[in-house]
Chain A
Amino acid sequence: GAVVSQHPSRVICKSGTSVKIECRSLDFQATTMFWYRQFPKQSLMLMATSNEGSKATYEQGVEKDKFLINHASLTLSTLTVTSAHPEDSSFYICSATLQGSSTDTQYFGPGTRLTVL
């Protein structure tokens, strides 16, 4: 149980276009979803925390107008990279917290590799 999926797994886009990444909790309802960014050979950096039905909370230094997060339901959160540029190329990983869990364990998606040409 507690599976999180991401779609697409890989995306290549032209500079200036927008890209949407979906994060779904497949067999549980997620109270909270998190979006991370990971550069090659580096750790995960938290970008934002997303709660269903409310605005996302962004970490310091993350542009909320560039990285739009929508958490429309307890099983789906989307990250849209607007007007993408080559420096936005990265590995984006989402995670979801099991609703009602007393331990708040995060379950991670497999990640989305974004390449901006």
Chain B
Amino acid sequence: AQSVTQPDIHITVSEGASLELRCNYSYGATPYLFWYVQSPGQGLQLLLKYFSGDTLVQGIKGFEAEFKRSQSSFNLRKPSVHWSDAAEYFCAVAGRAGKSTFGDGTTLTVKP
């Protein structure tokens, strides 16, 4: 069975500081991995995805993530956080046919 763990429930960073959100997954084959962002009361927006190829994936809004098979991780990073990045972030793993399993989410707070 596939599963996703986001170890950090809540992270607070100062505006302009770097950010790393952790994600560990469990999946029997080569996974499809995603990071989504959700603002309060809104749906999910896809930040980036990994299917194959280059293990460093670039996404929207200046985010990137690195797939590390040996560590079963897919951590999300951003070099300089903006106040508008405050939101809930979900990591997800999917098999074929798109059925996804989501982590519990990490709430990001940005201090001025």
- List residues of chain A with CB under 8 Å of any chain B CB: 6, 32, 34, 42-44, 46, 49, 91, 93, 95, 97, 103-111, 113
* B104 close to chain A: CB less than 8 A: yes
A-B contact number at CB 8 A: 58
- List residues of chain B with CB under 8 Å of any chain A CB: 32, 34, 36, 41-46, 49, 51, 90, 94, 96-105
Whole-angstrom distance from the CB of B2 to the nearest CB of chain A? 11
Given contacts A42-B105, A97-B97, 19 further A-B contacts (CB under 8 A): A34-B99, A34-B100, A44-B102, A46-B99, A91-B41, A93-B43, A97-B98, A103-B32, A103-B49, A104-B97, A105-B34, A105-B49, A106-B34, A106-B46, A106-B94, A106-B100, A108-B45, A110-B43, A111-B42
Q: Is the CB of B43 within 8 A of A111?
A: yes
Q: Is the CB of A110 within 8 A of B42?
A: yes
Q: Closest residue to B96 on the A side, CB-wise?
A: A104
Pick from A44, A91, A106: contact of B98, CB under 8 Å: A106
> Which residues does chain B contribute within 8 Å of A111, judged by CB atoms?
41-43
Task: Provide the bound-state CA to CA distance between A43 and B43, in Å.
Answer: 12
Q: Is the CB of B99 within 8 A of A42?
A: no
Q: What DSSP secondary structure best describes chain A's contact surface?
A: strand
Whole-angstrom distance from the CB of B44 to the nearest CB of chain A? 4
24 A-B residue pairs with Cβ-Cβ distance under 8 Å, sorted by A, are A6-B43, A32-B98, A46-B99, A46-B100, A46-B101, A91-B41, A95-B44, A95-B98, A97-B97, A103-B49, A104-B32, A104-B94, A105-B34, A105-B49, A106-B34, A106-B46, A106-B94, A106-B100, A108-B36, A108-B43, A108-B45, A110-B43, A111-B41, A111-B43
Q: Is the CB of B98 within 8 A of A104?
A: yes
Q: Closest residue to A106 on the B side, CB-wise?
A: B98
Pick from A32, A43, A49: contact of B103, CB under 8 Å: A43
